[in-house]
A and B are shown apart, each in its own frame.
Chain A
């Protein structure tokens, strides 16, 4: 697993993708932060995360679209799957590498907290709680993006599929309240209020676990279908 993590991280940082992801997100986050402070006049660091969750809808696929589809297209999948490593460790390696990039990005937003700290006394517990929630949200997103990448060899299809499903999750609760429970974004809503709701944590984690396992199953299945 460590070998895969190391290699994946290298790939993220040797190609522009990692920098685009981290740079774009931090740039947009700064703008959101600026807006919430100066336009709305609210001195809360956490509020920027509400809109940041919609940014992730479009940015996470940048990170996840190449995970398996690129390997499949280039044929390097054969190297990976004929090695004595288990499928689960390969999938987890890739997932964790992406999560490390996400973690670095989220930690990067902490600088805005320090800015607020300079002028006032924001609550660090609420800030950490929000970042935890955001991290869990991203874990769920990444796991789905990874799954989408495993079912196609076309990166564009993978990213469009991911964005499509995320947008559905975003808008469906507006159609009917029944969809409320399906929306990852609404699950995130309570974290910036400083509440860690156990059911929401469980939902994020189970969503992530579900799609990690589905990815393993897809790869496993391909062995007999291919």
Chain B
């Protein structure tokens, strides 16, 4: 389990990552989603211990990354961004070096290297220099380097970037096969990828987490736009005039004019007025009435892509002044809180002291009373003795 607690990373005056917190459960595949420069790589680098957070704490399987980095690093297999490789080594040599660096015992090394090679499908190129490999294979070698020795946690920074569709599919299948055996964190700026592979998506933008949810929920959270793509033959050029006045339609936009004099339009319906069947029927009738040849009507499904863009766009764009203001307010709050805490602590100490004082006083009083009663008793005894003596 990975716990990230209020972590910030500051470069000079700018925050690369600001006050992020999230958990990753064992066996989960989590996707980091964000635009370029959103802070994905920085976050991953901090989890692997490559860089230190300015403030905050990262705990991996109950071990603090900052205080026991070696132990944590043993648990993690990291595939860095841009697939860095030692280009003068062969595939096998590279993976074997990674195994050495990970302190895998000599006896188990050969087996571990072999397993990593087989899992990533590198058998055919095992004796080739990594510099001569194609991009897809390089990516696999890098993945094999992270995978060797079966670390509990795999952190993959943009594992499929720059691959052709077939390779992307293969790598995705591979990552999917890690489910349950490894905890996986991967980053990407491609949504379909994340939605296909991951159980949980963390959307991060400008260094802050703006959504943590399952891909399905994210998709649901966006109001589905009703968009149709229609193809028509419109000899009298009436289409726009006819449908502009339609009460169901929000906007019409010509996308393309085909060579055979047909047009492709994008039609967006008003929200909440959307009965699919009703619209199609209405559309067909109106077309027929106006001599427009309806060649096809297709509904566009809302995608995760839309969700992503919407979530990011909905986020208020803050100016620098506003950010500074927020920062200032936060610092002020922190200070106030600190002051309050100090005050409370002072009061607490005061109270305790008072209590102690009173306790002591009470004790003293008790003692005094006791001694008084004792002395009284003594006196009484004395008196008694005296009187006894007198009687005698």
A residues adjacent to B (C-beta < 8 A):
2-4, 6-7, 10-11, 14-15, 74-86, 223-224, 226
CB distance from B60 to the nearest CB of A (A): 12
- With both beta carbons as reference points, the residue of chain B lying nearest to A80 in the complex is identified as B101
Chain A contact residues: helix, strand, loop or mixed = helix
Among all A-B residue pairs, the 10 with the closest Cβ atoms: A75-B84, A3-B100, A83-B101, A84-B73, A78-B80, A82-B48, A76-B84, A224-B52, A84-B74, A82-B78
- With both beta carbons as reference points, the residue of chain B lying nearest to A226 in the complex is identified as B51
A172 to B385, CA, bound (A): 106
**Can you show 21 pairs from A to B with CB atoms below 8 A apart?**
A7-B86, A10-B89, A11-B89, A14-B89, A15-B88, A74-B86, A75-B82, A75-B84, A76-B85, A78-B45, A78-B48, A78-B78, A79-B80, A79-B145, A82-B49, A82-B73, A82-B76, A82-B80, A84-B73, A84-B74, A84-B103
Q: Point out the residue from B48, B51, B86 that lies within 8 Å of A11, measured CB to CB.
A: B86
CB distance from A91 to the nearest CB of B (A): 14
Contact across chains for B98 and A79 when beta carbons are under 8 A apart: yes
Determine the chain A residues whose CB is within 8 A of the CB of B71 once the complex forms.
Answer: 84
Kindly state whether residue B138 has any CB partner on chain A within 8 Å. Answer: no
- With both beta carbons as reference points, the residue of chain A lying nearest to B47 in the complex is identified as A82
Contact across chains for A84 and B81 when beta carbons are under 8 A apart: no
A75 to B100, CA, bound (A): 19
A136 to B48, CA, bound (A): 38
Contact across chains for B89 and A224 when beta carbons are under 8 A apart: no
Contact across chains for B84 and A85 when beta carbons are under 8 A apart: no
A2 to B97, CA, bound (A): 11
Number of A-B contacts (CB under 8 A): 75
Determine the chain B residues whose CB is within 8 A of the CB of A76 once the complex forms.
Answer: 84-86
- Residue of A7, A15, A74, A83 with most chain B CB atoms under a 10 A cut-off: A83
Kindly state whether residue B22 has any CB partner on chain A within 8 Å. Answer: no
**Interface size class, chain B:** 20 to 34
A160 to B81, CA, bound (A): 30
Contact across chains for A83 and B51 when beta carbons are under 8 A apart: no
Contact across chains for A223 and B100 when beta carbons are under 8 A apart: no
Kindly state whether residue B92 has any CB partner on chain A within 8 Å. Answer: no
- With both beta carbons as reference points, the residue of chain B lying nearest to A74 in the complex is identified as B84
- With both beta carbons as reference points, the residue of chain A lying nearest to B145 in the complex is identified as A79
CB distance from B2 to the nearest CB of A (A): 15
Q: Point out the residue from A14, A78, A84 that lies within 8 Å of B84, measured CB to CB.
A: A78
Contact across chains for A81 and B50 when beta carbons are under 8 A apart: yes
A3 to B93, CA, bound (A): 11
Determine the chain A residues whose CB is within 8 A of the CB of B98 once the complex forms.
Answer: 79, 83
Kindly state whether residue B102 has any CB partner on chain A within 8 Å. Answer: yes
A209 to B36, CA, bound (A): 42
- With both beta carbons as reference points, the residue of chain B lying nearest to A14 in the complex is identified as B88
Contact across chains for B88 and A85 when beta carbons are under 8 A apart: no
Contact across chains for B101 and A3 when beta carbons are under 8 A apart: yes
Determine the chain A residues whose CB is within 8 A of the CB of B74 once the complex forms.
Answer: 84
Kindly state whether residue B270 has any CB partner on chain A within 8 Å. Answer: no
- With both beta carbons as reference points, the residue of chain B lying nearest to A85 in the complex is identified as B101
Q: Point out the residue from B49, B97, B102 that lies within 8 Å of A7, measured CB to CB.
A: B97
Contact across chains for B102 and A83 when beta carbons are under 8 A apart: yes
Determine the chain A residues whose CB is within 8 A of the CB of B86 once the complex forms.
Answer: 7, 11, 74, 76
A74 to B81, CA, bound (A): 11
Kindly state whether residue B361 has any CB partner on chain A within 8 Å. Answer: no
Contact across chains for A223 and B73 when beta carbons are under 8 A apart: no
CB distance from A1 to the nearest CB of B (A): 10
- With both beta carbons as reference points, the residue of chain B lying nearest to A75 in the complex is identified as B84
A93 to B9, CA, bound (A): 31
Kindly state whether residue B70 has any CB partner on chain A within 8 Å. Answer: yes
- With both beta carbons as reference points, the residue of chain B lying nearest to A2 in the complex is identified as B100
A83 to B146, CA, bound (A): 10
Determine the chain B residues whose CB is within 8 A of the CB of A78 once the complex forms.
Answer: 45, 48, 50, 78, 80, 84
